């Protein structure tokens, strides 16, 4: 009988090393046997998981299921006005004043008026209007104040302390599992074939990978305690990507609009080359969009990861497009999740294992695949979410 397995699209259970026989089913199998076998199956269906698993140093062992990262922010220099102010009003209310100190000079980017901060309380700034030769003009909610410098009094030794802010991000190693099995009757029926265990094992391995892929893309971190037991859920890329660099495209997609969005979204990090995970629908439409088609080139062949990666060159950077079936659902199909691999890795608390399920019934045979792993992002500010993209031609 052929060993072709319909559930793994040409990769057979035998060639992938998936558990096949009764003798192999005895005891617990651990890394690297089970992990290597599962990693070979359908890499194009689990893009993020496959890339992290195949790049050296992107899977790191941890001694506990909880891990936190303290991210140091760069100095901020823009605040947004939240309440209208007259041309002579000396109180300006902004969205965040944690980093603002007296003696700072700012410019309203819409009107060009320069102001000097003399004091502040919470989010209300007391300012000297029309500082310099600029004229005072009404300020509107939504206006941006660009803080350019500090201006000290003659003889003044120093300003107040201004420190860079930090943010803590906590994620967890989630326990993933997939169970497969069959009854005595199913195993001996002729129409099921002699390799029914192979088929079931291959099917379980595919779904196991897809579980992890969906979680590290879309998961929200959570620690839940109940009855003395703890359940952990990992953060996904989308959780980090929408923290700071959320870019609403307003239903518009063009080469110019994407270039502007990417220039903004990639302003932090050591590289302007990023991975952009997209739905298959948007991927297919995007690469044919006028102005973009001429900028596309193949950056990775299908021998590197198991699928081809195409890149789009923009002024000052490059976006490597990776289509994902996880985003092929309403609500996610019109967005790009961007990442810099320098700051992303899998944290593994318990390696992948496969073991028989005990006391499963005298006429049933079952097996469990499980792993405790979570996604860590050391600098969420380098990730981004570009959403509300208009599908070209729709």
The mean pLDDT of the chain is 81
DSSP state letter for 152: P
What is the CATH topology of the domain spanning 78-163? Answer: Elongation Factor Tu (Ef-tu); domain 3 (2.40.30)
Confidence band, pLDDT 50/70/90 cuts, at residue 98: confident
What region, left, alpha or beta, does residue 319 occupy, with left being phi > 0 and alpha being psi -120 to 50 degrees? beta
Report pLDDT for 184.
61
pLDDT score of 81? 93
Instruction: Quote the pLDDT of residue 150.
Output: 82
- Other beta carbons within 10 Å of 303: 8
Contact 373, 212 (CB under 8 A): yes
pLDDT in tens, 207-240: 999 999 999 999 999 999 988 889 999 999 999 9
Mean pLDDT of 304-314: 78
Say whether pLDDT at 365 is over 60: yes
Average pLDDT over residues 370-393: 87
Instruction: Report the alpha-carbon distance of residue 233 to residue 216 in Å, rounded.
Output: 10
Which residue did the predictor score with more confidence, 203 or 113? 113
Q: What pTM value is reported for the model?
A: 0.74
Q: What is the pLDDT of residue 12?
A: 43
Beta-sheet pairing, 246-248 with 384-387: parallel
pLDDT digits (tens, 9 = 90+) for 69-78: 877 666 778 8
**Considering all CA atoms of the chain, what is the largest pairwise distance in Å, rounded to the nearest integer?**
96
Q: How confident is the model at residue 29 (pLDDT cuts 50, 70, 90)?
A: low
* Residue among 4, 10, 18 at smallest CA distance from 42: 10
Task: Locate the domains of the chain by residue range.
Answer: 1-74+171-394, 78-163
* Confidence tier at 135 by pLDDT (50, 70, 90): confident
Instruction: Give SS3 for 116.
Output: strand
Find out whether 348 and 173 touch, Cβ atoms under 8 Å. Answer: yes
**Beta pairing partners, 347:** 60, 374
Per-residue pLDDT at 300: 60
149-207 per-position pLDDT tens digit: 888 777 777 776 665 666 778 899 999 998 877 766 555 555 555 567 777 777 888 89
Which residue matches tokens 């990978």?
A: 209
Q: What percent of the chain has pLDDT over 90?
A: 35
pLDDT of 3 over the 70 cut: no
Please tell me which residue, 377 or 293, carries the higher pLDDT value: 377
Q: What is the mean pLDDT of residues 315-322?
A: 86
Residue 241 has pLDDT above 90, yes or no: yes
CB neighbourhood size of 134 (10 A): 15
- Considering only residues 39 and 177, tell me which one the structure prediction assigns the higher pLDDT: 177
What is the pLDDT at residue 304? Answer: 65
Question: Omega of the bond prior to 32 within 30 degrees of 0, cis?
Answer: yes
pLDDT one-digit tens code per residue, 255-285: 888 888 988 888 888 788 899 999 988 888 8
């Amino acid at each position: 009988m052929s060993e072709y397995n319909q559930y793994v699209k040409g990769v057979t259970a035998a060639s992938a090393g998936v558990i096949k026989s009764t003798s192999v089913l005895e005891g617990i199998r651990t890394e690297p046997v089970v992990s290597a076998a599962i990693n070979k199956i359908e890499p194009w269906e689990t893009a993020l998981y496959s890339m992290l698993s195949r790049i050296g140093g992107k899977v790191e062992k941890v001694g506990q299921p909880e891990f936190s990262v303290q991210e140091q922010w760069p100095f901020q220099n823009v605040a947004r006005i939240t309440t209208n102010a007259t041309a002579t009003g000396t109180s300006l209310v902004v969205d965040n004043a944690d980093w603002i100190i007296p003696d700072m000079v700012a410019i309203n980017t819409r009107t060009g008026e320069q102001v000097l901060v003399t004091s502040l309380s919470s989010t209300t700034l007391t300012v000297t209007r029309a500082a310099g030769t600029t004229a005072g003009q009404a300020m509107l909610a939504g206006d941006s104040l660009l803080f350019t410098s500090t201006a000290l009094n003659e003889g003044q030794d120093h300003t107040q302390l201004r420190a860079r802010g930090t943010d803590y991000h906590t994620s967890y190693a989630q326990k993933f599992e997939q169970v497969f099995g069959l009854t005595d009757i199913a195993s001996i029926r002729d129409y099921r074939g002699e390799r029914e265990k192979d088929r079931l094992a291959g099917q379980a391995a595919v779904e196991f990978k897809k579980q992890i892929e969906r979680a590290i893309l879309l998961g929200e971190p959570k620690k839940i305690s109940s009855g003395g037991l703890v359940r952990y859920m990992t953060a996904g890329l989308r959780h980090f990507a929408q923290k700071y660099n959320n870019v609403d495209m307003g239903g518009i997609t063009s080469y110019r609009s994407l270039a502007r969005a990417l220039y903004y979204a990639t302003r932090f990090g050591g590289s302007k080359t990023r991975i952009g995970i997209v739905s298959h629908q948007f991927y297919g439409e995007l690469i044919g969009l006028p102005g973009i088609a001429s900028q596309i080139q193949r950056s990775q062949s299908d021998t590197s990861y198991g699928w081809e990666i195409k890149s789009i060159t923009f002024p000052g950077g490059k976006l490597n497009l990776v289509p994902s079936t996880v985003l092929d659902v309403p609500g996610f199909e019109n967005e790009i999740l961007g990442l810099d691999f320098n700051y992303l890795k899998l944290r593994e608390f318990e390696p992948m294992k496969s073991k028989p399920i005990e006391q499963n019934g005298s006429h049933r045979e079952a097996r469990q695949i499980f792993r405790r792993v979570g996604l860590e992002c050391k600098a969420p500010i380098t990730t981004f979410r570009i959403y509300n993209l208009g599908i070209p031609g729709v």
